[in-house]
Chain A
């Protein structure tokens, strides 16, 4: 009798196990590695919104996990591997500094699909994706050039990496298109996230007389300082109008949702292929927040610029692009700089008086 019960129990367990794995096989487990807290209101928050949109669109076909506050560099390898070992079939690593760790883990788990944001190293099971944020920066430059009464912009940079440098250059090129004498003051804070430091940098810029502040750091601290000082500013990564209803001109919004849905669907259908995705205003991976706190003619100009970039008639880095020494930069893309040049940009354009750190 006892033996019979044991057998029954084992059989029941076995059935339970098979049904469990069956449902697990139907459900795609998707993992996300985040740089900051999901409440940073900037970069990580927008990836989290993308994840939520994916869950909403695909419902019970997917099951998602995210790990917050994962430090960049070798440390992140453990976190990525943890997701790989716990049955995740598709893993998004959402910051530049996860590049080498992602490559390493991808090598060890060839059957798992990896997607790395803003990087450039790929493998048969490792895609890269990013937004053409410089397109939005160019529009912000046009607005800033029009709106600045003193002709001096303040720019808070995080780290002097190509992504940030190309953003500064695009901004200045946009501003020069409406005000050839525009000047910019750049402060590097060497961090993506330290609200206090970002606020200090914004105060320093305001104290030195800039009347528009833009930033490539993640928190709304700078826009709030601008609001206190009664000057204008741009949001970053997400719509920050709440922090400066009379201050924010617009904001570049990272829109990852559609891409995450598309990639998860591709894995579910078995059509996923490694590749590189770099989309901008046209495919709406980069979206602009409403144009606010500016006169109608500036708004119209901003909208016109946005439309021109989206339909391809205007490229922010159209040739000739002049380096700081005034000499034109090699034009590899025919009429504009090619993607490789933008992705590895390590020079300032003419009109920026500052010296690039480390050069």
Chain B
């Protein structure tokens, strides 16, 4: 395996959890809800995903447990913000704190245990192709799913009626409500979907990335996913670009250090953030004459008047 191929494989692994979590949050925000609890839902997904995989011996069941845990935590958020019309920023932050604490409790009994990491696809001949073999045909299921997920979200949002309604609700919940669309019901579904995606993104860490569970192992990835959604100006295509760019620069800076190029490591560590912000800002400058496409109702509370 050549160095280039090895680097690309590492990049894909580093980008996938970000992409999974960010894709879900993109749908949530497009429906006009700002859920800052991604980090909390991710770490819950990590703890429960590991627990599920450890107890059953199946990565697939572990992944399902991760999705369920993320979605379950998002129910708390939905009840607070959609049911009780609580401030979304405060509820989201509280959700992260709750998730970090709760996951530590759930995961306490599993610290120090090991599992078999997620199996990788293997197709004779194809997987052994030079350079592209492992990259295209030798990934774990999470990686393929993350790509399918983003394509499905893009199709849903721009090619289906339901997607149009979701975006309409995100842009103006009062008008959408007046037209008879079930604003709260659709937001509920979006928040649950976002929770499930964040849970899956979190579960990727102990199931495939580093096959063990340690409290706090998401180490801020939920916040990066949140930032990616904003900088991708709420568009699925740019989200993929942003997540992979972030992953690529994170890995490349490590290789640059190992080569001993003598660039200060503090600068290197900040490069993924800088590069992603700059590139995504440039993309939205050049193409979006209409300016920001932030959902107009993002973060505002909606209480139906009838």
Taking Cβ atoms with an 8 Å cutoff, the residues of A that contact B are 36-37, 39-41, 69, 154, 157, 160, 185-191, 193-201, 203-205, 207-208, 219-221, 224-225, 228, 242-243, 353-355, 357-358
A357 and B266 contact, CB distance less than 8 A: yes
Q: From the candidates A39, A157, A354, name the one contacting B260 in the complex (CB within 8 A).
A: A354
Does B215 lie within 8 Å of A207, measured CB to CB?
A: no
Chain B nearest CB from A20 CB (Å) reads 30
Whether B205 sits at the interface, judged by CB under 8 Å, is yes
Do B215 and A37 have beta carbons less than 8 Å apart? yes
Can you list 30 A-B pairs, Cβ within 8 angstroms, ordered by A?
A: A36-B216, A39-B214, A40-B214, A41-B111, A41-B214, A187-B257, A187-B265, A188-B268, A188-B269, A189-B254, A189-B269, A190-B266, A195-B209, A195-B214, A196-B210, A197-B250, A198-B210, A199-B209, A200-B10, A203-B6, A204-B251, A204-B258, A207-B3, A207-B255, A208-B259, A225-B210, A243-B212, A354-B262, A357-B265, A357-B266
Q: Which residues does B use to contact A, with CB under 8 Å?
A: 3, 6-7, 10, 13-14, 17, 104, 107-108, 111-112, 114, 117, 205, 209-212, 214-217, 219-221, 250-251, 254-255, 257-260, 262, 264-266, 268-269
Q: Is the CB of B258 within 8 A of A154?
A: yes
CB distance from A214 to the nearest CB of B (A): 13
Please measure, in the bound complex, the distance between the C-alpha atom of A69 and the C-alpha atom of B220, giving whole angstroms: 14
Which chain A residues border B265 with CB–CB below 8 Å? 157, 160, 187-188, 190, 357
- The residues of B that contact A355 with a CB separation of less than 8 Å are 260, 262
Task: State the total of A-B contacts with C-beta under 8 angstroms.
Answer: 118
Task: Enumerate chain B residues within 8 angstroms of A204, measured Cβ to Cβ.
Answer: 7, 10, 251, 254-255, 257-258
Query: Which A residue sits closest to B206, measured CB to CB?
Result: A195
Looking across the interface, which residue of chain A has its beta carbon closest to that of B2?
A: A207
- Given the interface pairs A200-B250, A207-B3, the reply to whether A187 lies near B112 with Cβ below 8 Å is no
From the candidates A40, A197, A200, A358, name the one contacting B266 in the complex (CB within 8 A): A358
Chain B nearest CB from A239 CB (Å) reads 11
A160 contact set on B, CB distance < 8 A:
265
> What is the CB-to-nearest-CB distance from B294 to chain A, in angstroms, rounded to a whole number?
29
Knowing that A196-B14, A197-B250, A203-B10 are A-B contacts, what are 12 other residue pairs whose CB atoms are under 8 Å apart, sorted by A's residue number? A37-B104, A39-B107, A41-B112, A188-B265, A188-B266, A190-B265, A198-B210, A199-B210, A203-B6, A221-B212, A224-B210, A355-B262
B212: chain A residues at CB < 8 Å are 195, 220-221, 224, 243
- Assembled-state Cα–Cα distance A220/B269 (Å): 21
**Are B3 and A195 in contact, CB atoms less than 8 angstroms apart?**
no
Given contacts A203-B6, A221-B210, A242-B112, contact A185 B216 (CB under 8 A): no
Q: Nearest residue in A to B204 (C-beta to C-beta)?
A: A196
Taking CB atoms, residues of chain B closer than 8 Å to A203 are 6, 10
Q: Could you say which residues of chain B place their CB within 8 Å of the CB of A221?
A: 210, 212
Q: Which B residues touch A220, using CB under 8 A?
A: 212
Is B262's CB under 8 angstroms from A207's CB?
no
Q: Closest approach, in angstroms, between the C-beta of A148 and any C-beta of chain B? A: 15
Across the interface, do A195 and B266 meet the contact criterion of CB distance under 8 Å?
Answer: no
Interface centre among A188, A200, A354, A355, by most chain B C-beta atoms within 10 angstroms, is A200
Distance in Å: Cβ of A167 to nearest Cβ of chain B: 16
A194 to B214, CA, bound (A): 10
Interface contact A69-B216, CB-CB below 8 Å: yes
Beta-carbon contact of B258 and A208 below 8 Å: yes
Residues in A neighbouring B210, C-beta threshold 8 A = 195-196, 198-199, 219, 221, 224-225
- Chain B: CB-nearest residue to A220: B212
